[in-house]
């Protein structure tokens, strides 16, 4: 399905925040409203990264996708990015109907740091009493500010232990090395009950493998429907970096299948 791009700016407490909108040209029935959060280690990236991630698949399947250009940690550390994403979620809830989407079908997703913000946003929305998020797609999420068995001494291409420490130190700011709240590092959260159902995928040799699998296992223990596909690959964001590889195509097909089932849409894998 074809979609149109649109840029909007919304007012926040700190100024104007840019939103990238991907709107289906020919909606098929009820259109889900998706907030997609870009990655970049919390300190780099932009809203347009949605055009090269699984957010594009969501748009091609017929969803309204909104990608916020949240404040990066190079300018403002935690909780700036999370609060910006929450502001964007509130905006999406309020304006979904006028944009042709269903405000009762809110979905949140993102890759890497955006996946970490996805998990944190689901926790924050639950604790603040809404908006209700129907499903979460935290793809290979950056969840744990402490080393895990897979993020420790990891020398993978594109993202590794050194860059992971740099990303967390910048994001946490004065919290680095001290007591870190679960909204900043979602792996710290003990009670995951009541969070939205979840689907994700990750490579078994990349830094975020352990924290991704643990998040899904903890959701299941809390009674939340959750599933993770694990691929034998050691490159973070492999599906974005090498989209034509067999494993990347397999991951994309799996994502589309889970997304369309969660959103009640018909997939469009060949677009």
Residue 26's pLDDT band (cuts 50, 70, 90): confident
What does the pLDDT look like over 105-163, one tens digit per residue?
999 999 999 999 999 999 999 999 999 999 999 999 999 999 999 999 999 989 999 99
Q: What is the per-residue pLDDT for 268? A: 53
What does the pLDDT look like over 32-62, one tens digit per residue?
999 999 999 999 999 999 999 999 999 999 9
Q: Is the pLDDT of residue 271 over 50?
A: no
What does the pLDDT look like over 200-258, one tens digit per residue?
999 999 999 999 999 999 999 999 999 999 999 999 999 999 999 999 999 999 999 99
Contact call for residues 209 and 174 (beta carbons, < 8 A): no
Residue 266's pLDDT band (cuts 50, 70, 90): low
Cα–Cα distance, 92 to 221 (Å, whole number) = 31
Q: What is the per-residue pLDDT for 3? A: 94
Q: Is the pLDDT of residue 15 over 50?
A: yes
Where in the chain are the domains? 3-263
Contact call for residues 213 and 230 (beta carbons, < 8 A): yes
Cα–Cα nearest to 85, from 20, 35, 131, 46: 35
Three-class SS of residue 128? coil
Contact call for residues 99 and 64 (beta carbons, < 8 A): yes
What value does the mean pLDDT of the chain take? 96
Q: Is the pLDDT of residue 102 over 70?
A: yes
Cα–Cα distance, 248 to 54 (Å, whole number) = 11
Q: Which residues make beta-bridge pairs with 21?
A: 6, 66
CATH fit for domain 3-263, picks 3.40.30.10, 3.40.50.970, 3.20.20.70, 3.40.50.1820: 3.40.50.1820
Average pLDDT, integer, range 89-97? 97
Query: Angle CA(128)–CA(129)–CA(132) in degrees, nearest 5?
Result: 115
Cα–Cα distance, 8 to 22 (Å, whole number) = 11
Q: Pick the range with the lowest mean pLDDT from 26-30, 124-128, 180-184, 226-230.
A: 26-30
Contact call for residues 36 and 114 (beta carbons, < 8 A): yes
Contact call for residues 43 and 168 (beta carbons, < 8 A): no
Three-class SS of residue 14? coil
């Amino acid at each position: 399905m074809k979609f149109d791009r649109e840029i909007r700016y919304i007012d926040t407490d700190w100024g104007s925040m840019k939103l990238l909108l991907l709107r289906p040209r020919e909606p098929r029935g009820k259109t889900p409203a998706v907030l997609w959060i870009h990655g970049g280690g919390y300190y780099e990236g932009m809203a347009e990264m949605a055009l090269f991630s699984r957010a594009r698949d969501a748009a091609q399947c017929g969803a309204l996708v909104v990608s916020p250009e949240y404040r990066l940690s190079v300018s403002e550390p935690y909780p700036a990015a999370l609060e910006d994403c929450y502001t964007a979620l509130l905006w999406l809830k309020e304006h979904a109907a006028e944009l042709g989407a269903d405000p009762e079908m809110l979905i949140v997703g993102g890759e890497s740091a955006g996946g970490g913000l996805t998990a944190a946003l689901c926790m924050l929305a639950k604790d603040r009493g809404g908006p209700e998020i129907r499903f979460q797609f935290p793809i290979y999420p950056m969840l744990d500010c402490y080393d895990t068995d897979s993020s420790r001494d990891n020398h993978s291409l594109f993202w590794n232990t050194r860059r992971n420490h740099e990303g967390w130190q910048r994001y946490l700011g004065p919290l680095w090395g001290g007591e870190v709240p679960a909204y900043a590092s979602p792996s710290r959260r003990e009670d995951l009950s009541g969070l939205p159902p979840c689907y994700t995928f990750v490579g078994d040799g990349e830094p975020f493998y352990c924290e991704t699998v643990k998040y899904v296992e903890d959701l299941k223990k809390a009674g939340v429907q959750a599933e993770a596909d694990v691929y034998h690959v050691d490159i973070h964001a492999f599906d974005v970096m090498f989209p034509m590889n067999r494993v990347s195509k397999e991951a994309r097909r799996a994502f589309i299948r889970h997304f369309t089932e969660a959103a009640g849409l018909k997939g469009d894998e060949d677009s």
